[in-house]
Amino acid sequence: MSARGEATPDFLVLGAGIAGLRAALALARSGRVLVLTKGALSESNAEYVQGGIAAALGDDDKVALHFQDTLRAGDGLCREEAVKVLVEEGPQQIEQLMAWGMKFDRNGPSLAHAREGAHSRSRILHAHGDSTGAEIVRVLLAKAQQEKNIRFHPHALAVDLLLRGGRAEGVSYLGRESGEVRTIEAKALLLATGGLGRVYKETTNPAAASGDGVAMAYRAGAQLSDLEFVQFHPTAMCVKSAPRFLLPEVLRSEGGFLRDIMLERFMPRHHEAAELAPRDVVARAIIMEMRRTRSEFVYLDLTHLDEAHLKKRFPAIYETCLRYNLDITADLIPVRPAAHYAMGGASTDIHGATTLPGLFAAGEVAASGVHGANRWASNSLLEGLVFGARAAEAIASGHSAAVAKTAPERPSHAPSPTAAGDTKSCCPPEALIEQVRAILWNQVGIIRTGAGLLEAVTRLESLKLREQVPPDACAIEARNALIIGRIIAHSALARKESCGAHYRSDFPLKREGQTPLHSYVSKDTPVFFSP
């Protein structure tokens, strides 16, 4: 029963990013929808996406090419059936978005298609040059606010899923204004809570991206997958007192160079594609150059490019950098890698169903298998649209839970991420969050080692959150951060190979010639691997 007489919705959506809004619009045809948001409406990772959205809509493009490009970027771990859904249903989702008022950039009467690293065709659509994510959210939110069957509850931080008979049937949440924990029940729930980048010290993610949805799913018993695959964006602005503002790879696609602190280009030494190499390669190269030169950053150089074009093509980036006394047309921009995107999350089938009955997930919180070991640029916004819509259809039709993967009789990787250590350091929430973020950045970052990962696991297991009753937002986020940090570290330690965004210098090669394996973990099962 909902607190204080709140009308019980048929469907509950946690998160108002692209996946959550798209799902809410589809669910509104079948019943009453309540959308809970952690912060203000439209506050999501998608708001910060300066890249674009990929779809095979160009005259020289084909769905089959988009499919192959995505598989290649995923380094063998993409689920082909999920990628097939993404690329086949993507164009119609783009068309629907435009019918609702989305204005993509055009060259005359035709859509303007840009190309980014690893794409074999120009298939990236942008809006207002570098504000694609924000524009998509704006269009979806405007449409959703017109629907009488959709209600919004902002500033409501989800605490835990409500379970009845092994099924998710609601959520408890903290009202930011009231400070009270309340409950809401529903027939089915969709997690669309976004990413977990804030568990790292260096990140491009907004404050809301603290992995809450993944942690809640874990505590409720849902199976998680591939949490070791965290993508680090190579080029985040590195200026004191400034947030790690993302400078997308399209800046390098336009001709930008990376230079070390001696102003020498270095990417040609690391990869034949130089600045257009895959994200993980560029991120590792930058870290290596920073270590070699004992510097805190490298430079992104756009000064040789046309000034008028840069200002027109990247207006938001230009204005943001100016606020920190950087003119991208005239100044070298200090940059360094930062945690950006989680390929793993709550394990789902191609309909968004998790292994917990009644619980669905879409967007970055879900491990749909679309991204494999290394997310491909501009597929994430498309994933939110496609799988948000698919999850809604599955929820409305009563689709059953996904089948959980079964661990081998003798799991080789233990202990569980929830195992209790002999001695624990009891920390207040703020201190615990900072410790988790530092440990993950230093030991579970871009270049990993077995010794560093073991140290991270040991240190994370020694931490304990100082209990706080009733909990406040910081305490809730601290509990989630500790759980997520432990799972990422355990999963990375267990995967003894380098694959996609997961790079171990002690196991620098990929397991060639063997069936690609995904990692799985639940609160009752330590990390194990299965196809």
Instruction: Give the model confidence (pLDDT) of 122-181 as tens digits.
Output: 888 989 877 898 899 999 999 999 999 999 999 999 999 999 999 999 999 998 878 899
* Lowest-confidence region among 144-158, 236-250, 442-456: 236-250
Phi, then psi, of 520 in degrees rounded to 5: -135, 150
User: How many whole angstroms separate alpha carbon 91 and alpha carbon 74?
Assistant: 21
Whole-number mean pLDDT of the chain? Answer: 92
State residue 40's pLDDT score: 82
176 close to 155: Cβ distance less than 8 angstroms: yes
Cα angle 56-61-64, degrees, rounded to a multiple of 5 = 75
- Judged by DSSP in three states, 326 sits in coil
Residue 410 in this model has a pLDDT that exceeds 90: no
State residue 411's pLDDT score: 55
State residue 89's pLDDT score: 98
Region 291-298: mean pLDDT is: 97
Half-sphere exposure in the Cβ direction for 344 (13 Å, CA): 27
Domains and CATH numbers, the chain: 231-339 (3.90.700.10), 425-519 (1.20.58.100)
User: How many whole angstroms separate alpha carbon 255 and alpha carbon 92?
Assistant: 32
Half-sphere exposure in the Cβ direction for 150 (13 Å, CA): 24
User: How many whole angstroms separate alpha carbon 440 and alpha carbon 463?
Assistant: 13
State residue 381's pLDDT score: 95
DSSP run (H or E) holding 288: helix 279-293
User: How many whole angstroms separate alpha carbon 34 and alpha carbon 359?
Assistant: 15
41 close to 48: Cβ distance less than 8 angstroms: no
Cα angle 366-367-371, degrees, rounded to a multiple of 5 = 115
State residue 1's pLDDT score: 38
Residue 423 in this model has a pLDDT that exceeds 70: no
- With a pLDDT cut of 90, the percent of the chain lying above it is 79
Q: Which residues are catalytic?
A: 279
State residue 409's pLDDT score: 72
State residue 418's pLDDT score: 59
State residue 341's pLDDT score: 95
pLDDT band at 45 (very low <50, low <70, confident <90, very high): low
